[in-house]
Structures are given as structure tokens and as C-alpha cells.
Amino acid sequence: MTILCLGCSWTDKYHKDVAPWPEVIESKTGEKVVNLGLNGSGNRYAYDQFLNYIRTEEKPTTVYWLMTEFDRVDTLLKTHRHGIFTFKTLTQGRDQERYLERWGENYLESHSPGEAFEKSKKLVGRDAQLASLLADIYHPTDFIDYNLHMMYVVQRVCDYYNIKLRIGLALLPLQPFLIPEANSQDLGWAILKSKYSDKLKKQNLIGWPFYKEFGGMTGNQIKSWGKTYGITDVDNHPGAKGSRLLASFFLAEKDIKDYK
């Protein structure tokens, strides 16, 4: 019996001293857990990993997917490594000078200036240009339909193979303050009105439809999440207490909506 776990840095082994929630589930259930979470990845990456696992491995008994923001645009880099653009970086990318300045500050916190820095800066500058272009192409409702469609496909595959499925969200699907003339009400309605909304089995979903204004929840909307369940006050990735809480939601031991 195998439990397959999917997600981003909230699922991957983000901090060396914190067991991520898939490890907590493994210790609680005694079942084999395969953790395909990847730091920085988007939902398309998890979706692709799921389909590839179903194609090539013995089918799991259970799939737990802790989705991230809907606006992460997964890309495959020339090095065959994984990379993403997010709507957050897309919109910030419009101010390319400030974008590069912030990137440089972060880079130099752990690296020394030199040839490697200049080469990376050139690539990031190209990223900023491309990000600005993508920001003009993508619309918030595109992200919503796209992600709900992936959820629906995973549901259909799991139904076909009789695999238990539970899906939750670590972070808000879309941040209203990043989108001109949009608020949580608009985004919540866009989720509910999506052509895929009625096709999703709500008993498989944790915190549907994800916005508090509609009775939904995501991990980072839990009251005092960062302070109580995060690694530190300024790093909201799950700490030990947060990992245990997330595991309890997937195992249906607790209801996320009780933590508003």
C-alpha cells in the first residue's frame, strides 16, 4: 500500500530539522509514502509527476495533493531542471530595474559577486522581460480554469483506478492585491462559476472553495498560521506543529474550517 504525496515547498523537505507532513503521515499510518513535492514548483509540475507515476509505477492506494498558488507557470529549463514564473513575479517583473535589484540583494546574501553573478543576472534580466510579457497574456480566470481542470483530471484518473484522493491548498489560489480591480469575492465567484467546479467531488477537497469569504480555507489562512504553525514569524513554511496539523487534515482527523 502506497500513499503518493504531491506539492511544493510545503510538501517537500524544506527545512532540515522539520519532518514534512508526508513523513508525519507515514509515521502515523505505517504505510509507504512517496513524496514527490518539490520546492518552488507549481501545480502543473505536481500534475505531471502524478500522471508519470501512474504510468510507470505500481498504482498507489491514496493520493494526497497539497496544491500551491494557481498562478505558478511551470517551465522546463535548458538544464532539464524545473523552474517557474508566478503572477507575483510577473507583475513585479514589469519594474525590471527593481526586480533585478531585489534579486541581486537575495543572491548576494549567500553568494559572492563575480562572473557567475553577472551571468545569472543576465539570465534573470531575460526572465524579467519574459515575465512582463506573460503578465499581459495571462488572465486570473485562465489560472482558475486551468488548475481546476488539472484537479478534475486527477480525480477522474483516481476514480478509474479506485485510488483515494484528497486535495487541499497550502496558499491562496490567487492573491487579490496582485490583480488590478479584483478582490477575494471576484476570485471566489470565478472558482465557483468555473465549468469544472461542479465536476469536482467536494468530499475529496479540503477547504473548498478556498476563500474565507465563501466558507473556504487554505493553510496560510489559518489564524496566526505563521506565528503558531510556521517555521518562524517571517517564514510561513510549516514547522513541526504545522506539518502535524496538515497531516491531520489529509487523514480527516481534523477539519481545516475549524481553524479560521
Listed by start position, the domains of the chain span 2-71+140-259, 86-137
The helix/strand/coil state of 156 is: helix
Is the pLDDT at 49 greater than 60, yes or no? yes
The region of weakest confidence among 128-142, 166-180, 237-251 is 128-142
Confidence of residue 182 (pLDDT cuts 50, 70, 90): confident
The region of weakest confidence among 55-69, 126-140, 223-237 is 126-140
pLDDT score of 66: 98
CA distance 21 to 35: 10
- Alpha helices, H only, 170-214: 184-193
Q: How far are the Cα atoms of 90, 109, 182, 254 from residue 178, in angstroms, in the given order?
A: 10, 27, 8, 32
User: Does CATH place domain 2-71+140-259 in 3.40.50.1110?
Assistant: yes
pLDDT score of 58: 94
CA distance 50 to 108: 36
